[in-house]
Amino acid sequence: MLTTSGKPVKNMTKKQIQIFFERLREQRPHPKTELNYSNPFELLVAVTLSAQATDVSVNKATDKLFPVANTPENIFALGVDGLKQYIKTIGLYNAKAENVIKACKILIEKHNSIVPDNRADLEALPGVGRKTANVVLNTAFGQPTMAVDTHIFRVGNRTGLAVGKNVLEVEQRLVKVIPEEFILDSHHWLILHGRYCCIARKPKCNECVVSDVCQWPDRFEFGASKFVTTKTIEDKS
């Protein structure tokens, strides 16, 4: 990855990666997804709806939907048109409604209405790709997967944690280099870091808890410090 100065980003060393995740863990000891859900099926639906949409917009819709229907049978009973009434404020809601209803039908007929805990069966569901499957496997079932979205892709390439030309390259690099003690929570740490600190156009390097191990040559132009202190972000829930 080239920077604005034209300098390539170097890969982090093992020691830097260890420090990187120790800092993110210290900052957010108990990270979690910002999507609202209470069981694997709700999570599956929420993540499916979240494609090209914000977590806030999805939560507003599912906060009304799930009290009425939060099982494959109940949502399938709503039908496509009924489901649309709950999710019409979310982008691409027409296609998403159709996919969710089709997925519910498959879950009912092939999986006894239980969300499968393996990639093959998850990715066979309409509207579920590799990233959605990875989120469900990691968040609902505690499997060491990495769902690379735009935030994680940016953080990986910018910091030197996982430089890759595409999503799959970054995913494979992350799974390879992240120490085992961090792998289960790393997905959430990286998304939150990218969403609130390592943002796209004007990264908050002056607030970054890992700026001293970051390999982005331009970070000092955005106020990065060579000496970093970490402040824990309390869980408000």
Pair (131, 197) in one structural domain:
no
171: CATH = 1.10.1670.10
Is residue 106 included in any domain, yes or no? yes
Residues classed as catalytic: 131, 149
Name the pLDDT band for 4 (thresholds 50, 70, 90).
low
Residue 190 near residue 40 (C-beta atoms within 8 A): no
In a domain, 75, yes or no: yes
Model confidence pLDDT, tens digit, residues 200-214? 999 999 999 999 999
- 126 dihedral zone (left: phi>0; alpha: psi -120 to 50; beta): beta
Q: What is the pLDDT of residue 7?
A: 78
Confidence grade of residue 225 (pLDDT, cut at 50, 70, 90)? confident
Residues 45, 128 within the same domain? yes
Tokens of 188: 């959430």
CATH of the domain at 104: 1.10.340.30
What is the pTM assigned to this prediction?
0.88
Among 139, 172, 198, identify where a domain stops.
139
Same domain, 49 and 113: yes
Tokens of 6: 């034209």
Q: Would 233 be classed as within a structural domain?
A: no
Total number of domains constituting the chain: 2
For residue 54, the enclosing domain spans 40-139
Q: pLDDT tens digit string along 99-136? A: 999 999 999 999 999 999 999 999 999 999 999 999 99
Structure tokens at 81: 């048109």
Task: Give the pLDDT confidence score for residue 141 in this predicted structure.
Answer: 96
pLDDT category, 3, cuts 50, 70, 90?
Answer: low
